[in-house]
Amino acid sequence: MPAYAVIGGQWGDEGKGKIIDYLARKASVVARYSGGNNAGHTVINDQGKFAFHLVPCGIAWENVMNVIGNGVVVDPNILIDEITKIKKANLPGKILISNKSHVVMPYHIELDQLEERSRGNTSIGTTGRGIGPAYVDKVARSGIRMDELLYPLKLQEKLSEIIEVKNNIIQKIYNGNPVSLENTVNSIFRWNNFLSPYIDEINHLFEKTLNQDKNIILEGAQGSLLDIDHGTYPYVTSSNSTIGGAITGLGIPPKKITRNIGIYKAYCTRVGSGAFPTEIKGKIGEKIRQQAGEFGTTTGRGRRIGWFDSVAAKFSSNINGFNSIVITRLDTLDSWKEIKICTKYELDGKIIENFPVDHEKLSQCKPIYETLEGWNSSTFGISEYSKLPLKAKKYLSFIEKKLNIPINLISTGPKREEIIAIKDPIP
Ligand code: GDP
Ligand code: IMO
Ligand code: MG
């Protein structure tokens, strides 16, 4: 039966974790397809509050298989830590790691941080988790796959050569600290011991599930505007967070994806460097950040805040082909007197409605806003559409018209039940 993709429509942190946890009650499989532990997905439900970095957000549901796909890069230390916490919290979901997913090694983490430092004031603001360098090795065909952790003696032999090369780069180019071969070898035996039962091939499971009357959720990480091809390059992550990544990152036939669900915050945030036309800078931005608690789930960095950008949103919905929209954090706008939405940009004295490809051009774009009246009352926790203030409904309908895609869910708080289901995207 069908697959449902859940994809961030902005620069990440749209609330994908919350929505996937909500939707997963109707799924047999939740499969993460891209990124690594640069992601931080918050889930709050009856079992507690969790921040998942690698394990998919269907883990709180019994009988849901949570797959880490071949498109993901996995830091085994982080995954072991996460699985240990999941077991402690008695979360009942099951876990399967693709034997084709790549390992984030200690030298990747070292290199990520050294490369960032050497970029100086053009640094990307990566999460420093080794994600970029791990994907570089994957594409260069010199990466280590999870499958290889099943044969640690063989991997040990290969590792001494790799580490020699990596340490040359670390020391001679970046003047950094070498990675210890001995510690890394000890690690691979520990990883083998803990993770072996979870590592297997994933495609038979998808085939079986899709042939039965069961649903698969394809879990996106990051956001479409951070996609390596379609995002604000070079201020992007190193994988395809858009729909193409879901297909290659799992091995799911495109025709099986019946619904493609775009998650958008009711405003915008961005972590790290890069153009952000609707950014609210200075004291007001800081005030909103503090009030809304907009700090990264992975790094704790303050998130940059901005108005909803419908030019960027339309671009991401077009490249993904969203046919269902979810708006999160509506309640965060409750006390704003007026709310702006960017509907066009001005670039070099001309009005444009298309999101520029070139980052330099995007950074010169001036947003043109339409201003709507704020509703000035609490929507927090509302679960029925009829109970929303009229002005909040007007705001949502403005976004819906701009994107020309139905809003199926509206999130009004961080907890699972704080949601308005206009029409559940998974029937
Ligand atoms: P993700 O990376 O897309 O899963 O999003 P994050 O978990 O990194 O960031 C989203 C933040 O917003 C988390 O702190 C969530 O608990 C919170 N959140 C999600 N939906 C809502 C909502 O509707 N209202 C409020 N107030 N918080 C929300
Ligand atoms: P979730 O899944 C927000 C950003 C980083 C940086 C850029 C590159 O929680 O939405 P990287 O470490 O990937 O090389 O960093 O991408 N970034 C995210 N921003 N949410 C995320 O994930 C992110 N994952 C990466 O801040 O700007
Ligand atoms: Mg996040």
pLDDT tens digits for range 253-307 = 999 999 999 999 999 999 999 999 999 999 888 988 999 999 987 888 999 999 9
Per domain, the residue ranges of the chain are 3-101+200-260, 103-195, 264-421
Q: Is 329 left (phi over 0), alpha (psi -120 to 50) or beta?
A: left
Alpha carbon separation from 358 to 229, 259, 262, 362 (Å, rounded): 12, 30, 23, 6
- Residue pLDDT tens, the chain, 427 long: 699 999 999 999 999 999 999 999 999 999 999 999 999 999 999 999 999 999 999 999 999 999 999 999 999 999 999 999 999 999 999 999 999 999 999 999 999 999 999 999 999 999 999 999 999 999 999 999 999 999 999 999 999 999 999 999 999 999 999 999 999 999 999 999 999 999 999 999 999 999 998 999 999 999 999 999 999 999 999 999 999 999 999 999 999 999 999 999 999 999 999 999 999 999 888 988 999 999 987 888 999 999 999 999 999 999 999 999 999 999 999 999 999 999 999 999 999 999 998 999 999 999 999 999 999 999 999 999 999 999 999 999 999 999 999 999 999 999 999 999 999 999 9
Does the CB atom of residue 69 touch ligand 1 within 6 A? no
Ligand 1 site, residue 299, Cβ cutoff 6 A: no
Output the residue whose Cα is nearest ligand 2's atom 27: 272
Q: What is the pLDDT of residues 84-139, one digit of tens each?
A: 999 999 999 999 999 999 999 999 999 999 999 999 999 999 999 999 999 999 99
3-101+200-260 and 264-421, same CATH topology: no
Element (H, E) at 132: helix 131-139
Note if 53 is an active site residue: no
Q: Is 12 in the pocket of ligand 2 (CB under 6 A)?
A: yes
Tell me the two tokens of residue 340.
């702006």
Burial annotation 40-67 (CB, 10 A radius, 16+ → b, else e): bbbbbbebeebebbbbbbbbbbeebbbb
Instruction: Please work out whether the CB of residue 14 comes within 6 Å of at least one atom of ligand 1.
Output: yes
Taking the CA of residue 241 as reference, the ligand 2 atom at the shortest distance is: 2
Closest-lying ligand to the alpha carbon of 299? 2
Strands 199-200 and 94-98: parallel
Neighbouring C-alpha atoms within 13 Å toward the C-beta of 76? 28
Q: Is the CB of 251 under 6 A from ligand 1?
A: no
Let me know if 13 is a catalytic residue: yes
103-195 maps to CATH 1.10.300.10: yes
Active-site residue (options: 21, 41, 108, 331)? 41
| Overall pTM > 0.85 | yes
Give me the pLDDT at residue 407, please: 98
The kind and range of the H/E element at 187 are: helix 181-195
pLDDT at 213: 82
Report how far ligand 1's centroid is from the alpha carbon of 55 (Å): 17
Q: What is the mean pLDDT of the chain?
A: 97
What is the CATH number that goes with domain 3-101+200-260? 3.40.440.10
> Tell me, what amino acid is at 194?
F
The rounded Å distance from CA 350 to ligand 2 centre is 32
Fold for the domain defined by 264-421 = Adenylosuccinate Synthetase; Chain A, domain 3 (3.90.170)
Name every residue whose Cβ is closer than 8 Å to that of residue 335 and which is 6 or more positions away in sequence.
291, 374, 376
Instruction: Report the atom number in ligand 2 closest to the C-alpha of 126.
Output: 15
pLDDT in the model for residue 313? 98
